[in-house]
Structure 1
Amino acid sequence: MHSQPSEENVLAEALFTVSPTGEVYTRNTKLDREQTPVITFEVIAADIGQPELTAVVTVIVRVEDINDHAPVWLFPEDADGHRSRVNVSCYTTIGTLIAQLRAVDPDEGVSGQVRYAISKGNEAGIFSLDPNTGDLYLVKSLLDVFEKSQANEIDKFSNSVLKLDAAKQKSNEKWAYDTSEQKNKDQEASKIK
């Protein structure tokens, strides 16, 4: 018994082998569902009689997904090439949606679902992040925070770093991304860069 040679079978021949008893085995190669979710090939069985008689069967292999990809952050790129900067005026109203943070995971099912969390930089409780959507909201007045923390400072700008994690649903694995925020006391509008 052997694989029938054809152009369609080239990939299958690289990935699988058929034993003399008709069992299909994977070669020592990794299958990736994101690259090839289904592999179809034909196997031919031939007897040793004269004339030789054959039978062909189509084998369909559906590759099951495993949790093998980390979430990837999707941020628009600003003019400076930064993908993580969000500018927010200190006059921004409490409850304002200041950023829609998104990450995607190419894995299928639960392994491809993403949850969001602020893991660092929000000790003052200024922001709230929806764990399911990645929407980032202002929940404390930035003006009040700046007045309290910089009572003796004359600087017009203040920077802080907010560290966000995207993690797979029902998993302890986390993939971190630092998001810088720049607040300008002189600007009224808030915008995402």
Structure 2
Amino acid sequence: MSLSIEDFGGRLASVWSELRPATRGLVEHALQNSPPAPARSVPYDARADHELSRLLAALDERAREADNLETEKGNQLRHIADTCAAVLQEKTRSAEVFTQLVRRADKQRNYKRIDALADALARFAPSEVCELARSPEVVVRALSSEALAQLPTSVLIGLLSDPVDAEIARDALRRQADDYGSEEARQIVGALDQMNLNSDDL
């Protein structure tokens, strides 16, 4: 970078300084590789997720004030923010971070990135996708509902025993039956509906 993080203000410099070296290295490596090199297969790091999420929030907040910056600084700041978002998109498995990224892409009308985020849901745990399906954000709900409908029926059946996720799983099974013609899902939904009818008769 021709400019350092410290050039963009104290709050951003403070967030940057609080990153662990490994997390900082993820951003620096991505900035040095444009387009970013494919990620190495490394274990998911929830703490790095949180740190990068905080950094992205600080970058975006500073970018909103970019009118007060020189053109070069403003462009550099937005580039760093986009790079940080790309790193998160590549690695995150957090519902909270996913929501942050979708909200950001939607605000930018970056539909290509929204499509890429939808694909990223394939690596999320089913419980995280269910959490996203309860989001107040319309786009997040739509993406997660579609992802759930693409899960193996057996995975959705496993979620039916979870009191938190059961209703979401049932909706996904109904979509598999109605929209995708899954006979297995249709049978499960029919059995669940029959159980509800029987319980109502008691």
TM-score scaled to structure 1, two decimals? 0.28
Higher helix content, 1 or 2: 2
- Larger % of strand: which? 1
